[in-house]
Structure 1
Amino acid sequence: MSTTHVLLGLLAHGPMHGYELKRSHDQRLPQAKPVAFGQVYATLGRLQRDGLVTTSGHDQAGGPERTSFALTEAGRARLDEWLSEIEPPAPFVTSALFAKVAVAVLVSGEARARDYLVAQRAAHMERLRALTLVKTDPESSLGDVVAADFAILHLDADLRWVANTLDRVADLHREVQS
């Protein structure tokens, strides 16, 4: 995920200071890893240096001084460009799940890979249950539900791969042995 572009997108709604950007990020991307304050401010510094945002005011309402930032025309153009780019499907398998199974078969054989896959399936099922609760919770926002759908569908794909691989572990082990 590009924190730079997400922050530009959040600023498209109007000026905000770093704390507001962090809070908005975490609300708008509810299943994403929360962004750290340091990352927000470091990114804002680069965006300002590159002319994509500008300071739009200072506020000190009952606390430390807060600088608000606004999107520039160049920032809006960069955001529009990013939103128009199609994300190419990943050309390589870069999953830790896949790598662990492949290495387990190489190093420890069929049993270890099978045990790992069974344990991973249990972890995935637990996460699926938690995400299903998010979807059925009347307090969940539409953003929460959409994010849960995204995660559920990815977990489902992983679970189908786990089931398929459990069926093939013995064959994979024989192939590695030869």
Structure 2
Amino acid sequence: MSTGHVLLGLLVERPKHGYELKKEHDHRLPGSRPLAYGQVYATLQRLERDGWAEVAETLQEGGPERTVYAITDEGKAELDGWLERLEPPAPHVASPLFARVVVATLAGGGADGYLLRQRAAHLARMRELTLRKADGTPAQVLAADYALQHLDADLRWIETAIARLADLKEEIDA
């Protein structure tokens, strides 16, 4: 995910200050890792440096001074281009789940126990997400659907891995 592009997308509605952008990011992208304030402000500085955002005004409303940023025409063109580009499918397996199973088999221990525990954890998380969908906002429901699909894919892989490891064990024992 490009944090800069997401912030530009949030600025399309109207100019906003960093605190507001952080809150909107965390609210509108439920399930995503929350942004740190430092990351928001560093990203806004890069967007300004690149000419994609500009300071619209500075507010002083009884608290700390707030710099309000607006998207520029160049920023809107960049955002439009980013939205048109396809996200390439991941070329590599970069899952901690996969890595643990491989290392468990290499280390001489069986991965079966781990896989069974992981399956139980995935099923528990799927139940939790399904319950959340009942009263969630549209963004929360979309995030839950996305997570559920990924968990389902992991569960199918876990079942395949259990079967393949059993076949491999039979082969070695024969």
TM range (shorter): over 0.9
Q: How many residues align?
A: 173
Aligned 8 A contact 1:16 1:68 in 2: yes
Gaps of 5+ in 2: none
**Percentage of pairs with the same residue:** 57
Shift of 1:172: 4.1
1:150 positional shift:
0.5
Contact kept in structure 2, 1:10 and 1:21, CA below 8 Å: yes
Q: Does the aligned pair in 2 maintain the 1:106–1:173 contact within 8 Å?
A: no
Q: Distance in 1 between the 2:153 and 2:160 partners?
A: 11
What residue in structure 2 maps to residue 164 of structure 1?
A: 160
> C-alpha separation between the residues in 2 aligned to 1:14 and 1:86?
26
C-alpha distance in 2 between matches for 1:134 and 1:114: 30
Q: Secondary structure at the match of 2:31?
A: coil
Structure 1: which 5+ residue stretches go unaligned? none
**In structure 1, distance between residues paired with 2:172 and 2:79:** 48
TM-score (norm 1): 0.92
- Aligned ranges 1:95-106 → 2 under 5 Å: 95-106=95-106
Q: TM-score scaled to structure 2, two decimals?
A: 0.94
**Aligned-partner SS, 1:68:** strand
Structure 2: distance between partners of 1:160 and 1:53: 44
CA RMSD of aligned residues (A): 1.6
Describe the superposition over 1:24-64 as per-residue Cα deviations: whole angstroms up to 9, x where unpaired. Answer: 10111011111110100000011111111000011111210
- Structure 2 residue aligned with 1:6: 6
The correspondence of residues 1-178 of structure 1 with structure 2, limited to 5 A, is 1-109=1-109, 111=110, 113-137=111-135, 140-172=136-168
- The one-letter code matched in structure 2 to 1:165 is A
